[in-house]
Structure 1
Amino acid sequence: MAMTLQHVSCLPELIISSTHHFMMVVVAGLVVLYLMYRRKVTIYLIDFACYRPPDSYRLPMSVFVENIFLDNMDPDSIAFQIKILEKSGFSEETCVPPSLTRLSPRKSLSFAMEEAVTVMCSVVTDLFQKTNINPKAIDILISNSSMFCPTPSLSAAVINKFKMKSNVMSFHLSGMGCSAGVIAVDLAKDLLRVHRNSLALIVSTETLLLNWYTGKNPSMLITNCLFRMGGAAVLLSSQEQDKSRAKYELQHLVRTNKAQDDRSHACVFQDVDSENMVGVSISKNILHVAGDALKANIAALGPLVLPFSEQLRYGLSIVRQKIMWNTRRSSIYVPDFKKAFDHFCIHAGGRAVIQAIERNLGLRKQDVEPSKMTLYKFGNTSSSSVWYELCYIEAKGRMKRGDRVWQITLGSGFKCNSAVWKCIHNSEFEIANAWNDIYRYPVEVPNVVKIN
C-alpha cells in the first residue's frame, strides 16, 4: 500500500516532466519545419558604378616607352615590354596614376593611399548619387585590393570619408587576385542572408604604384604592361522592397580554388628577383593553369544552369570516350553555354585569356565583345573588369528583362569564380560615365600595334 501511495504522489511530477518533453519536441519540430520551408532570401543588385579616370591620367604607348627608356632600364627589359605592349590589345586611353607618369616614378605610401582613395571614393560617390542612398544606410561594407593593404584598412578609409554609422560591418580582402570582386559578392551574399533586410556595399580596385617593377625579370615585367587604373562599387540588398528598383538578381555563385596544386599556386606569385627587387611574376603556364581552373568551375556550374539536353550530350560524350578508350580517342562534347546565358563578362586579364575562353567555349564575336572592348579602353583593371563589361552591355542597350549574364573571373591562387545574374527589369539603363562614348565601340583591334 505504501508503494502505491508513493507512486500516486509522483504522478504530478511525471505528468509535468512528460509535458515538458512533449513541448520541447513540438518546438524543435516547428523550428525544423521553419528552416525547411522559410522563404529563401533573394540577393538583389540595385546598381553599380565604374571609375573613369580623367583624361590627364592617360598613358599612351609612346609615353610608356619613353618613361621606361628614361628610367634607365636595360635594353632587354625595354624590348620585352614593348613586345608585350604591342600585342596587348590596348588603346591609347588606358590610365595610370599621375605618380607613375613622372620621368622617375615616385613610390611612396602616401601616393599609393592617394591613388586608392581617389578611385574608391570617386566611384562610391557616383553610386550613392545614382541610387540616392544615404551612406549611413549601409549595413555591410566590403573592400578589396589584392596588392595594397594599409592600416587602417581601405574599408576604414571609405567609412571615414562617407561618415558611415559606427555599427557597419566592414571587411577588407587582400591577396585574392583579380577574382576578388566575385569573392566579395559571395561574402556579401552570405552576410545578407544572415542579416536580413540589409544593404551591402562592395568596392573593388587595385593599386598600381607600389607594384611597379623596375627590375630585369621578364615574368615580373608583364604586370607593368597589363595592369591599369580602375575600380567599381556595387550595391547589394536582401530587402524584398528593393526588388522594384534593383537591376539584377543573383542566381548562382560558384567558386573554384586550385591552390592545393603547386603549379597553380605559383602561377601568379609575389616575390623578390635576383637583385632583391619585389615584383609579381606571371608564369608561362598561366593559360594551362587558368584552363584547368575554368574546367573545374564549369563542371560545378554546368548542372545548375545548362538545359537537360546539353547535360545529356555532355554525359554521353564522356561515356563514349570511356567505352572507346582502347580504340580511338573520342572528343568530349563542350556544352553550348549560349543556351544558358545571354551575355558573357570574361575577366579582361589579357588578350590571350579572352581568346582562349572564346575558342574553348565556342563563343561568338559579340559574346566576347564586352571583354575585348574593356581591355582595349581600360586595360586589365583586375577585380573590377567584369563590372566594366556589364556596364558596356547596358550602355549598348543589349540587356533585357529575363536575360542571364555570366561573370567569369580568374585570379592568383589559382582561382576561377563565376557569378550568374538575372536581369529583372526591362527598363532603359542610363549610360554610365565609364562608357559615355559608347557610340565609338566596338572597334577593330589589330593583332599587333607597332610602337615608334
Structure 2
Amino acid sequence: MEQSGPTYDSGSGGGAPVGVRIQHNRRLPDFLQSVNLKYVKLGYHYLISNLLTLCFIPLIIITSIQVSEMNIDDLRQLWIHLQFNLVSVVICSAILVFGLTVFIMTRPRPVYLVDYSCYKPPHNLKASYDKFMEHSKLTGDFDESSLEFQRKILERSGLGEETYFPEAMHAIPPKPSMAAAREEAEQVMYGALDNLFSNTNVNPKDIGILVVNCSLFNPTPSLSAMIVNKYRLRGNIRSYNLGGMGCSAGVIAVDLAKDLLQVNWNTYAVVVSTENITQNWYFGNKKSMLIPNCLFRVGCSAVLLSNKRKDRRQAKYRLVHIVRTHKGADDKAFRCVYQEQDDQGKTGVSLSKELMAIAGGALKTNITTLGPVVLPVSEQLLFFATLGCD
C-alpha cells in the first residue's frame, strides 16, 4: 500500500522544478510495542498461580451436573452399593480422617506480629556530633589521628544529631562498670517492654516464650532472667538468651521464636533485641576498632508475636518466611567482626575492610535463597525459561 505525498521544489537555479514523491508503507502495528506487556504478564501470573483451582472447576461442574440428574432410584441404588461394600467405605473413611488429622497437626501455624516497641531514651542522654568529639578529646585516650578518624567516620555514618549515650559514658572521665552496664540494660529493656505491654494490653504472665539477644554483654544472671524477675513471668516460660550473634541476632531471635510458636499452641512470644555499649567502648587508637564507637548507640526493641487466632485482625504483620544464610565457614567472614585486644591490651570490636564485600555476598546469597520461596510460580517459570533460552 502506498500513500502519495506533495511535490516539492528542489530549489535549483533556472531549471525545471524537480518533483520528489514520498511514499509511506503501511505495515501492521507492532503489538509488542502497542500493548502494555505488564498486563499480559499480570494475566499470566494469575493463570499460573490459580492453575490448580482452574483445573478443579470443570471437575466440580461435571460432578454437580451428575448429582443434579440423579433421582430417587439412583440414590437407592447408590445406598445399596455402599451397604454391600461397607468394609471399603469404612477403610476409605478412616484413611480420609487420618489424612486430614495429620494435615491439621503438621501444617505450619500462622505466626502474627501483634505489635512492637522501640525504647526512647531521656533527653539528658542525647549526644550530638560536637558532644561526642568533645568527650572523646577530654578522655585523653585518643591521639589526634584517632580523633580525626572518628570525626570522619561519624560524619559519614548517617547518624543524626539525636542519638544517645548511656549515662556512664557522659561522665568525664567515663565510668564503665558492670553495675553501669546492668543499669543500661535494665533501662532500655524495661522501657521497651513497658511500652509494649501498655500498647497491647497483654498481661506479662501470659507470655509463654521469651528470647533476648545482646551480642557483647552477657552477665550472670542472664538478661532474660532479669526480665523474668522484673515482670514476675510464669515458671514454665521458655526463656532463651542469645549472645555473640552480631547484627543478625534480631532476625535469628525472631526465627527461634517463630519455630517455638509452631510447637507451643495458643501462646505469646516476646523478642527483645538490644546492644550494650557501657562495657564495650574502645579507648585505644587502633583504627579498625574505633569504628564501633562511631556507630553504636543506646537502643532496644521489643516485639510481641502470637499464634492465637484472635490476634489475626489486630496484628500488624503475619510472619511468612525467614531465611538465614551462615557464612561462618569462610575465614574472612568469620573474622570480619572480631572482638579482641589491641597491642596495649585494650578490648574492642574490630571491623575489617572486607566487611562490606562480605556482607554484600551474604545478602546476595540470602536473596537468591529467598527468591524461590517468595516469588510466584509464574515468575519462577519465566526465570527458568530465560535460563533455557540463554
Superposed pair shares fold, TM > 0.5: yes
Query: Pairwise mapping of residues 345-356 of structure 1 onto structure 2 (< 5 A)?
Result: none
2:210 aligned counterpart, secondary structure: strand
* Greater Rg by CA: 2
Quote the sequence identity (%). Answer: 48
1:190 aligns to 2:259 (yes or no): yes
Offset at residue 181 of structure 1 (A): 1.1
Which residue of structure 1 aligns with residue 203 of structure 2?
Answer: 134
Which residue of structure 1 aligns with residue 103 of structure 2?
Answer: 36
| Residues 269-325 of structure 1 deviation map (CA, whole Å, 9 limit, x = unaligned) | 1111111111100111111101110111011101122244544555466567xx6xx
- 1:184 maps to a residue whose letter is A
Which residue of structure 2 aligns with residue 220 of structure 1?
Answer: 289
User: d(CA) in 1 for partners of 2:378 and 2:363?
Assistant: 22
Offset at residue 135 of structure 1 (A): 0.8
Query: Pairwise mapping of residues 168-207 of structure 1 onto structure 2 (< 5 A)?
Result: 168-207=237-276
User: d(CA) in 1 for partners of 2:345 and 2:388?
Assistant: 52
User: d(CA) in 2 for partners of 1:30 and 1:176?
Assistant: 44
Aligned partner of 2:367 among 293, 298, 302: 298
User: d(CA) in 2 for partners of 1:246 and 1:50?
Assistant: 17
Stretch moving more, 28-37 or 202-211: 28-37
1:246 aligns to 2:315 (yes or no): yes
Query: Pairwise mapping of residues 109-120 of structure 1 onto structure 2 (< 5 A)?
Result: 109-120=178-189
Offset at residue 111 of structure 1 (A): 0.1
TM-score normalised by the chain length of structure 1: 0.63
Which residue of structure 2 aligns with residue 47 of structure 1?
Answer: 115
- 1:50 maps to a residue whose letter is C
**How has the CA–CA distance of structure 1 residues 315 and 125 changed in structure 2, closer, same or farther, with 3 Å as cutoff?**
same
**Structure 2: 5+ residue runs without aligned partners?**
1-92
User: d(CA) in 1 for partners of 2:223 and 2:303?
Assistant: 16
1:211 aligned counterpart, secondary structure: coil
| Residues 83-131 of structure 1 deviation map (CA, whole Å, 9 limit, x = unaligned) | 1112112221011111112221111000000000100001100000001
Which residue of structure 2 aligns with residue 98 of structure 1?
Answer: 167
Which residue of structure 2 aligns with residue 75 of structure 1?
Answer: 144
User: d(CA) in 1 for partners of 2:131 and 2:295?
Assistant: 15
- 2:117 maps to a residue whose letter is A
- 2:103 maps to a residue whose letter is M
User: d(CA) in 2 for partners of 1:88 and 1:46?
Assistant: 32
TM-score normalised by the chain length of structure 2: 0.72
Aligned partner of 2:194 among 125, 128, 137: 125
Which residue of structure 1 aligns with residue 278 of structure 2?
Answer: 209
Which residue of structure 2 aligns with residue 88 of structure 1?
Answer: 157
- 2:248 maps to a residue whose letter is S
User: d(CA) in 2 for partners of 1:276 and 1:162?
Assistant: 39
Offset at residue 62 of structure 1 (A): 0.7
Offset at residue 40 of structure 1 (A): 3.3
Q: CA RMSD in A?
A: 2.0
1:160 aligns to 2:229 (yes or no): yes
Offset at residue 223 of structure 1 (A): 0.2
**Structure 1: 5+ residue runs without aligned partners?**
1-25, 324-452
Which residue of structure 1 aligns with residue 68 of structure 2?
Answer: none
Higher relative contact order by CA 8 Å / sep ≥ 6: 1 or 2? Answer: 1
**How has the CA–CA distance of structure 1 residues 104 and 313 changed in structure 2, closer, same or farther, with 3 Å as cutoff?**
farther
Which residue of structure 1 aligns with residue 130 of structure 2?
Answer: 62
User: d(CA) in 2 for partners of 1:207 and 1:272?
Assistant: 18
- 1:276 maps to a residue whose letter is G
